Structure 1
């Protein structure tokens, strides 16, 4: 029996669309910019028996299964990860040998995330894998119990470091705070960063990356930190200081003297809730001038 013209056209369109789909995804896979793209490698066990032609990316069987598994991975990740998801790519099929039954197929996939979103706000590799496990619960192709993470490649964003310090008035400085490797220093550093980071994440969601304690000094306790912001998207020093000022009334784990805050070498004085920039050089000048004037009397 011959194939009717309408069926022939339908088959031709189906094959053409499939080839275009495969060509596009393979082009994305080899675009040479993967180091800059947040990527989670996952291996998916499939219910599909493995055949030798799945070793050949140009075979009809390979391309048909590629289109099916990429499409299913895309639907699952798009639903679970939303705007953070970019594309699913197939790396290769591999044979999974079994003693008591025929070999099955595993698909090595690359789940690429949106590179325009700060790395700190992207889903973790575990989140991506769990999304696929949950999404494959009703899948006839993917075995949810087989999903494993094979690789994680999140680019390290270019950052700009901004020093910040503040004094915890009334707190006692002890000599073990001079060494950041002592238990007392490590405990205080963890306390400060875990307390303050949520405030900076909320205030600068697109630019704040991290903060690290760089040291403690005597004078009650002077806390020295290094703030990391995305290069080219660094808030001004007053805004950085104001986050600390506004957070201070909500923090009880340690004391923040808002009049002691310095950002990137500039002291931020606070008066009636308003912050003003005073460079350390200018502040020192006024101290010296005050001393000279008082010495004349």
Structure 2
């Protein structure tokens, strides 16, 4: 009898302490307290890792909240968070554990972006990894059982983590992986032979969008994509704008910040859409213009919005109407002259 083995997405699991008091509601995955804090953390991790790794990163999810019991942070909230990467990525091409861990630490220490979540920076640690070089003082770090999320009670085995430890999420902890174009694969295994079936990656169309944020001060570190200032601003723009485009277009897949430039601050970004249903430039620009009055953590000067170099605002619409009107008048004159002076 043939056995079926599902390809598991490479996943890093973090343990981290939040500067907030633990209460029993956080034990209940159906409680409002659990869901609100879960959403904040998922939005934060998605913003941080999407800005850093782009399409390589596919999504994050909360495994468990529990009370801290030792040290000065006793009674605070300890949380385990999973960070998933594209399942087709070879292990050797995944980021090193220290890099993945350091990104969150740097954000916790240096970021001025308010996600209403405060980390204890020295509490951040990876407890599960697809890489083979996780080192701890003990032979293995046991993960806690989570019946609703499907996380098994097991000890991390660095050499076999990627193929044998599976995080099958469900219930209130469920987190649908990002809609970024990925290659799905299933492997059929048997004692006699192994067959692999792979589907073709979704075709993506990219649209370049820019806008100006008036009254905001440009700093030179925004020119460096590896700087904390760049990553922080890219993260909150991404986390703020993506929900508007997800709601407007089913074909929307992701937003990637490309660069910032001076004047006050000009944001340059790429929007990705499934090629089967790409909105036109005017539709894309209109989503930004409609969203602008509702955004508070940065501003969008609506007259500065451009899509693929086309500036779309009420002024453009007016110019198009004027050109159309003039054309109609000229056409009317031409027809009249033909009637007065027939050939």
Q: Shared fold (TM-score greater than 0.5)?
A: no
The structure that has the greater radius of gyration is: 1
Greater percentage in strand: 1
- TM-score, normalisation: structure 2: 0.38
Normalised by the length of structure 1, the TM-score is 0.44
